[in-house]
Structure 1
Amino acid sequence: MNGSEEIKGFFGVVAPWLDQLSGVIDLLSIAVLLIGAARFTLKMVRGEFASENFRRLSIMNTARRELGSYILAGLELLIVSDVIHTAITLDLDGLLFLGGLVIIRAIIGLFLEREIRVLSEVSYASAADEDGQDKDRGS
């Protein structure tokens, strides 16, 4: 038995396990996305009932930042799953799909990270303005 045959034999044994692992990772990515969506919804509802405009804006911006983080994490897990699946199938169509998915994820990631950064800056600037107004009122 040469090295190539040993690798094929080993791969044949491991491939079903990797396929199962890929499915579990898919489920985890869906769970991450659902948890993010649920947390986002709860925070947005809570934000709607906030009495002050600043507090409402702060809660909603925080919710949007966190949702973006959950989306990025879910997409990362989906890519891991697709890499495993593509390695198992050794299919050109799967490889092309994976390449497209990585490009789409990179573009979405850039926009989400930019939005998260902007929302963070807005939240910090708003908090600083509120602190300044509170100090002015206290003087």
Structure 2
Amino acid sequence: MIDNTLEMVRAWHHAFGVPIADDAAIPAERAEMRLAILEEEVAELRAAVSAGNMVEVLDALCDIQYVLDGTFLEFGLHPVKAAGMAEVHASNMSKLGADGRPLLRADGKVLKGPNFRPPDLTRVLRGAK
């Protein structure tokens, strides 16, 4: 069994003849379809949450991950997914407040602390070439 979602979706792309790009680029002929599918899946998640249906929540989350990984593949960003995620994670961890605690908005969203640094995804993309 494959335990990496990107590799699962890669196998699906191969089996169904769905494109996998070798180089990072936004495919004009398929980008809007990819965005529409992601939006459909997020709408399904919203409906499942509203209904309190955990089976449908799980289904929607898995579908979102599947479509998201497919978009990494079609946009040629699959070689830098791990490095991009690590860079975004490091950036997100820099949001802690000066006291090492999270700064929260009233609704619970984590805010940027004084030591926040944005992710350097340009560097990550340059490393892919």
For the criterion TM > 0.5, the same-fold answer is: no
What TM-score results when the alignment is normalised by the length of structure 1? 0.36
Q: Which has the higher helix share?
A: 1
Which has the bigger relative contact order, CA under 8 A and spacing at least 6?
1
Could you say which structure has the larger radius of gyration?
Answer: 1
Taking structure 2 as the reference length, the TM-score comes to 0.38
